[in-house]
Structure 1
């Protein structure tokens, strides 16, 4: 399928070739520069191209390089590292957000063409999970931060997860690390489309947001916050049992700021065992019709929220999503958004594996941790050994041909090498009662004593 060295990599490191091919197709320098020039507001290009900045940061995000300085030393950027930091500091939030949207749209089209999307959990609706992410405290490198005992927060964001495709499809970044997540819901509401199903925790249970969803002919399943007043129209009615608890349901009325009265449903799950937060009841508000989603279905849909939380865990575990050396909010949020971009490239790879190995139950058996590790290990050798001209085949191919190449590469992946390691149930911790008065012990002596020596 390919020539020379690239063909050998395609046979022996196909996942790495897939990612490199996706980078060449979706994030090649020419395309990025055209997009940047058409979307930028105040930022401009002088010595450092936007595409060079993206390439440098992706090296860090994907753990190929450890930090900005290390990536800079390996780059061909002619400007100083100080200029690189200055450029990162000036990346507009709209640019970071727009890049995530651009690549998510492209990735969604590829996943659909590959046939790698999962069925929607509720037929007729596109499920969107919404959650917030606060970037971890940065180092105190900036002068205004050096004498602060409090941890400096460089920003936060709301992130949208496309459940069927496994994509982080949108982001709403905010430079103020102290901002309330609810303050960003107006921006989220503008993106809602008919037949979306928005699922979120109680922090997003705001009348204006719920009403905006309903007005756009969309639906929601959101945990009820006690701050939102509802008027019960009936007593709670039993709706059977589900796993750990009893299901009940009632109709409620909610009045919005315009005086419009909405009639929605409240589903209550009374738990035998409390949640980690000690709660024994989960109250869910939804405008889904009962004939489309009974109480048990609503509870199951809400339980699916773990998928976006798992996505955040993957960002931390597989990618370098939060760079604590970047104190300026625009720089830190740009790094986080590029982690979302990288996550979506991995989502395309996983979709190709699902399509190429339909019998393997890829989502349950393949470890994305091992996949990310393999790609990080082989990427540098791939970039050195394969001439840049050979990668152009990925950018020049039409959509159908490109997806065909991805499928062939996916078929070459040895899934056994990427199999998840399963573990048994956790054992109770052993009580540590011996040697309590000693500062340390000799491991060799204890082993010898246990062996009878």
Structure 2
């Protein structure tokens, strides 16, 4: 297939097809993760936690004829992504070609997938009466951060219920109503030990989880799982290149994004296999996604040349338990040191940059030479007083 034919093909892939790929990968890979016993620890036993968040695709190049005389960055679409934080799999995706469409316009599609005993975790963009009431009507549950414009009726005063790792926890009973349907809910407020990066000192979330089954402190800790989806977006953006800025057509850009989600799911299975053999702590804290992906990318082409396609056909006939055992055998041979992540040190504050009049640039070589001269002068000045100092070389004086 030529490149022209390839791009023509992906430019016409309907978003529903891309969505189906993500769903299919989640359905097929979930049993493997479970068989490997590579899941993350349960935080809400008896519920299936689903973390949802929106993502705007980055601006593309102005290659399309309709974009060549446009100054603004062309946005090829957006999507809502659903992550299972226990399996660490992207299990659903809701694509939208129009980047200006509000996330809330996609809520009907999300509500159609809600199942009983789900526990949906989301940020304040999902805090609407329609979404919360609609979720409860499906006999499902929500842990959604409060939006400033959210309307609710207070039934009781805030009372302190205890301390969480992030701060003091308070809760009260409230009622949320939508189109004459009302539900009883709880409003849980955490007075933070440290402000958020936006300077907020408290965080409030709504939940309809039963108080006797799930206390307020556990609700606040479960909400912290929302950040796992931010990690997903970082991996598929920085490591799996989900945004290809040459793909201007929305359908092609969304397809590329969904293929990155599929790749993320495969990466999660690999890490689950490593976790089952080497332990959760070593893998979650010490393995670099970047190095793992780089290894796969660099060896795949040569491996497929050295090992013909026919040699891989036996894998499709393996029973689930046998396949999981094969993954464990391969994982046991992995040298984790080769894929160790580099711990990040504390960021140094940026120094104030000095501007020189009438200069828009500097010579790096001259600055380095000046630094070396200053270093040598400093060493000379540190010599003991009883040591006879030799005259400074002419090169240093200049």
**TM > 0.5 fold call:** yes
Q: Which residue of 2 aligns with 1:290?
A: 211
Q: Is the 1:120–1:163 Cα contact (8 Å) retained in structure 2?
A: no
**Structure 2: distance between partners of 1:325 and 1:424:** 35
Output the CA distance in 2 between the equivalents of 1:339 and 1:166.
Answer: 14
- Work out whether 1:127 is the aligned partner of 2:49: yes
Match of 1:260 in 2: 181
Structure 1 distance, partners of 2:41, 2:199, is: 34
Q: Distance in 2 between matches of 1:413 and 1:243?
A: 35
| Matched residues, number | 374
Instruction: Tell me the SS of whatever aligns to 1:304.
Output: helix
Provide the rounded CA distance (Å) in 2 between the counterparts of 1:279 and 1:380: 49
Indicate yes or no: 2:168 matched with 1:246.
yes
User: Could you say what secondary structure the match of 1:305 adopts?
Assistant: helix
Q: Secondary structure at the match of 2:162?
A: strand
Instruction: Provide the secondary structure at the position in 2 that maps to 1:292.
Output: coil
Instruction: Kindly indicate whether residue 11 of structure 2 is the aligned counterpart of residue 112 of structure 1.
Output: no
Relative to structure 1, the CA distance from residue 384 to residue 207 in structure 2 (aligned partners, 3 Å threshold; closer, same or farther) is same
1:332 aligns with 2:256: no
Question: Does the 8 A contact of 1:120 with 1:126 survive in 2?
Answer: no
Deviations for 1:18-59, whole angstroms, at most 9, x for unmatched residues?
xxxxxxxxxxxxxxxxxxxxxxxxxxxxxxxxxxxxxxxxxx
Q: Give the alignment partner of residue 203 of structure 1, picking from 122, 125, 142.
A: 125
Matched, 1:418 2:342: no
Structure 1 unaligned residues grouped into runs of 5+: 1-76
Mapped contact 1:162–1:168 kept (Cα < 8 A):
yes
Q: Helix, strand or coil: the match of 1:409?
A: helix
1:367 maps to which residue? 288
**Inter-partner Cα distance in structure 2 for 1:323 and 1:430:** 34
Asked if structure 2 preserves the Cα contact closer than 8 Å seen for 1:158 and 1:171, the reply is yes
Instruction: Report how far residue 437 of structure 1 moved.
Output: 7.4
Which residue pairs with 1:280 in the alignment? 201
The SS at the match of 1:164 is coil
- Counterpart for residue 236 of structure 1: 158
1:433, CA displacement in angstroms?
5.2
Cα deviations by residue, 1:175-212 (Å, 9 ceiling, x for unpaired)? 11110001111111111111111000010111121112
Cα deviation per residue 1:425-446 (whole Å; 9 max; x = unaligned)?
2333344559787642414412
1:82 aligns with 2:4: yes
1:311 aligns with 232
* CA distance in structure 2 between the partners assigned to 1:415 and 1:408 by the alignment: 14
Give the drift of 1:282.
1.2
Q: How far, CA to CA, are the matches of 2:349 and 2:250 in structure 1?
A: 43
> Do residues 136 (structure 1) and 58 (structure 2) align?
yes
Alpha-carbon distance, 1:424 to partner? 3.0
User: Counterparts of 2:35 and 2:107 in 1: how far apart (Å)?
Assistant: 32
Query: Is the 2:133–2:182 Cα contact (8 Å) retained in structure 1?
Result: no
The structural deviation recorded for 1:149 is 1.4
Highest CA radius of gyration, 1 or 2?
Answer: 2
Name the CA shift for 1:446/1:386 in 2 (closer, same or farther; >3 Å).
farther
Looking at structure 2, the residues matched to 286 and 190 of structure 1 have their Cα atoms a distance apart, in angstroms, of 20
Determine the C-alpha separation between the residues in 2 that align with 1:243 and 1:113: 32
- 1:120–1:127 Cα contact (<8 Å) kept: no
| C-alpha distance 91-111 of structure 1, shift in aligned 2 (>3 A) | same
Moved more, 336-345 or 439-448: 439-448
Residues 344-363 of structure 1 aligned to structure 2 (within 5 Å): 344-358=265-279, 361-363=282-284
Q: CA deviation at 1:448?
A: 2.3
Higher relative contact order (CA 8 A, sep 6+): 1
Gaps of 5+ in 2: 377-395
| In 1: Cα distance, 2:87 partner to 2:76 partner | 30
TM-score by length of 2: 0.89
Alignment match, 1:99? 21
Which of 328, 342, 348 aligns to 1:427? It is 348
Cα deviations by residue, 1:140-185 (Å, 9 ceiling, x for unpaired):
1111111111221111110000011100110011111110001111
Contact 1:202 1:222 in 2 (8 A): yes
Tell me the equivalent position of 1:40: none
In structure 2, the residue matched to 1:171 is 93
1:450 CA drift (Å):
3.5
Q: Please name the residue that 1:218 is paired with.
A: 140
> Which shifted more, 343-352 or 390-399?
390-399
Partners of 2:304 and 2:322 lie apart in 1 by 23
Which position in structure 1 is the counterpart of 2:389? Answer: none
CA contact (8 A) 2:152 2:176 kept: yes
User: How far 1:279 sits from its partner (Å)?
Assistant: 2.3
Match of 1:398 in 2: 319
SS at 2:168's partner residue? Answer: strand
Aligned to 2:383: none
Partners of 2:155 and 2:174 within 8 A in 1 = yes
> What TM-score do the two structures reach when normalised by structure 1?
0.79
